[in-house]
Structure 1
Amino acid sequence: MSLESDRAELAQILRTKSVKTGKFTLASGKESDLYVDCRVTTLDARGAVLVGRVLHDLLRKEETARGLSIGSLGGLTMGADPITLAVAISSSLAGEEKPVQAFVVRKEPKGHGRGKRIEGNFTPDQPVVVVDDVITTGDSTLKAIQAIEEEGGKVAFALILVDRQEGGRQNIESKGYPVVAAYTRADLV
């Protein structure tokens, strides 16, 4: 399948399963006429395959454009988790010599063991990509970036499945982190 057909199919799954209209209170406390629950798509068998392909392609294009070598990607649990793994699997299935690795950022440091905030294949000496499923205000993405930087990581850019176009991109970019989104509200509504 072509990337163009993958993008179209993924957009249709998002529209069917994840995009809801009505009256909603968001995590930010804001009222909205749109709710986007990407987990329904990212945890769908076909949706996960398509998310991996589409975002893997975006990651590699942005990496090349910036002259970087991305070692790993991850974001704040739970929204980023299935996306991160889907992209890493897609990278491996593409036969890459050095597939991108996945990590998870906990909301709080682990309360036992080594007390880690970042789990998985995080290497602070390589540029990393922060992942999020949906951005509205950008606060959860910025929280993940802060945790990554506190552990010595350098965030190259944010890779987002859906940008709700409600100021989140501008908030993240105003802090110096480029945002690459697969879809925007306008693409899906």
Structure 2
Amino acid sequence: MSDAASALKSLLLEKSVRTGTFTLASGKESDLYIDCRMTAMDPFGASLIGQVGWAAVREKIQAEGLEIDAIGGMTLGADPISLAVGMTSASSHPDEALQVFTVRKEPKGHGRGKQIEGNFSSGNTIVVVDDVITTGGSTLKAIDAIEREGGKVAFALVLVDREEGGRQAIEARGIPVVALYSRSTLLG
């Protein structure tokens, strides 16, 4: 594990991981709650997410000869992660810089009525992002919106896979998942 990955793991454990009894967004009860926003919206955490996330994305791109245009996912969890990875791509490899976008939960009720905001165009090849996957539901909702608007999802980048079936649900759609951490790797 790189120094940045170790530092990010420590920060996630300090700021984002809680044990106890919790009701998740999926409605399921769990002994583990992971609020990645606490880490992703910390300036040091965002910097580390950018480094570790871009390294993982770039490795996948190079290994498979992919051409990726943009990175984004369902607001709010994906927003700081996508921006951090996009900014790191631009500063470290300007010729490979990823544009960044966000997917609204519902299309906007005014203006142009868009569900996808930011730097996204029909025909783009995308890395879809999520902070935490449990069932995979929010990631799949983002994928549906991206595909509806003409985007092609190459793979998913996830900060933490809770190892509760979400990865399998996303991969069942033919979309590989790159998880920076899992419940196992975070908690040992």
Q: Give the TM-score range, shorter chain.
A: over 0.9
d(CA) in 2 for partners of 1:64, 1:96: 15
The separation in 1 between residues aligned to 2:66 and 2:95, in whole angstroms, is: 16
Residue 73 of structure 2 corresponds to 75
Deviations 1:77-127 (A, max 9, x none): 000000010001101110421411100000000111100010001122231
Matched with 1:147 is 145
Q: Which moved more, 1:94-103 or 1:81-90?
A: 94-103
The answer for the alignment partner of 1:84 in structure 2 is: 82
Match of 1:39 in 2: 37
TM (norm. structure 2) is 0.97
The residue that corresponds to 2:20 in the other structure is: 22
Is 1:66 matched up with 2:64?
yes
Q: Which residue of 2 aligns with 1:156?
A: 154
> Any stretches of 5+ residues in structure 2 without a counterpart?
none
Give the distance between the partners of 1:141 and 1:19, measured in 2 at CA.
Answer: 20
Q: Among all aligned residue pairs of Structure 1 and Structure 2, give the percentage whose two residues are the same amino acid.
A: 60
Deviation string 1:121-159 (CA, Å, 9 cap, x unpaired) is 112223111000000000000000000000000000000
TM-score by length of 1: 0.97
**Corresponding pairs, count:** 187
Q: What RMSD over aligned residues (CA atoms) do the two structures have, in Å?
A: 0.9
CA separation in 1, counterparts of 2:115 and 2:128?
14
Q: Which residue of 2 aligns with 1:99?
A: 97
Answer yes or no: is the 8 Å Cα contact 2:124–2:150 preserved in 1. no
**What's the secondary structure of 2:95's corresponding residue?**
coil
- 2:168 aligns to what? 170
